[in-house]
Structure 1
């Protein structure tokens, strides 16, 4: 008989991602008490309420609850693009690197990248990416932006830049989509309402399972016609649910209780960055921390990012992921002030060993 698999040690401080959050006691209670019905017939009152809340939050006529943020992006791309059409996005875009080739596999779309700064580009960059309209070139249909920009270090898009990009898209007859996985982090950091950010976007979504702390889901919003098509592709992509109010209840609870507290995550990210900035061999742009992400390098310690990450976990129980040459620490509602202090101490210890 094969030996049982060894259990995986749980980190003492988990800064791997804000997707590792666990439902709070209040959220679990809301899940347990959720009123449910047949989502596909629009009879689930909790799912309906969540969709209405997000549509109002984003200033759009309609919204649809989906199992994941990736599905939100890919359904939007499928609605806006036909096979062989092209999406313009930043070279660091989530859909390009972390969605398993979804734009090609699910929407049949090509991508044309812009080398922005910290994941943010301008209307002039869009203008420069426009192809001549000939039968030899792919048809460009969509500009996709990511707010906040993950690989840009959780950078917040300035509202005027969103408007500039929207104007460029309109000039060229393109739609504008916002990957708003961490849009509410941008809202809390900037003080700009979500609906204001979304006003010039043809489609936009928010994730529930990152900073909001839900176990599952995202909500995609847009015009009534857009959402009607999105429902069709939700079914086609295998995302149709039944009594989805069970998980939608977590989203309702999060929107009512977990948005303002994102400011705590941002403050802790800055505190972590300021702490490790004092460590010899660690490089971090502490003055660029806007939201809940801290990217840093450890070249000066004589270790690469992967080795440093492994030692943090093995020796101190602090999990911080390595992405290429950088490490990424992400704060969230399961990491308190003591956790941040422990993480800084762990970085100091590994760097000085």
Structure 2
């Protein structure tokens, strides 16, 4: 099957959407799937409001339509709700092509945290975007149930994986700091709630890996913390393997690939009991508590091997299988009939 993925998130962005698409599609090749992408590469772009590090494509409906028809895909999957996603959706509705979508990012919570814009209005826009999709792929059961409660339909699970060869226990290889080392990896931005970690009175060292718009301000406010900037590949894997506990203070992530990267590296997790960690972190691999300090200290008691063993259930091969199964189900005869009927009820704009 030849699948076209339309995504506004792509290199040089470094985030969970890009990582998921790159790694899942490589694993899906084992099942005989072939992929084409429509991304912002080669297009004019403009900085995203409130987040200039992310650039959005400036393009036209005719350009996107030509790209789709030239690719001649068997199926179209829309990964993001940005300009490329909306124009791909527009084309599919115009020519009456079945498509699937995925829900990666809790934009209503992110936008509200940055601007105060009401979450319910953003969810209304997202509901309209995903309404004509033959399947809406959600990363965890909890996120899926939340979307259903908000009026999203045909929600199906699409989990994530981890490279267990790269992310593995290695011993003390990368950080020469007082122990225990509490590590957080991710975008340094307001929605990641890093202040909840940085304000804790913890023994040892607190380390932040990543970059983003809030980094300079947080470094000034919390000079005792160690901000290492962005790390990738082996350099990132070594930092994981050198820490003692992985701390995930975010309350808004849909999954958190960094959680399974940490567990695969032998790091128990400390996090709030919220969507993402609730589904991803097992009771033998971490501690979830509204008292984040108690979770951090409790996670120190978890054996590294227990975290590693729990991570083995997450593979990119299984993620690819789920993705392809969702597409096959959405393209079934009965699904096609129901989808065409829904088009009569959904605005095709």
Normalising by structure 1, report the TM-score.
0.36
* Structure showing greater relative contact order (alpha-carbon pairs closer than 8 Å, 6 or more residues apart): 1
Normalising by structure 2, report the TM-score.
0.36
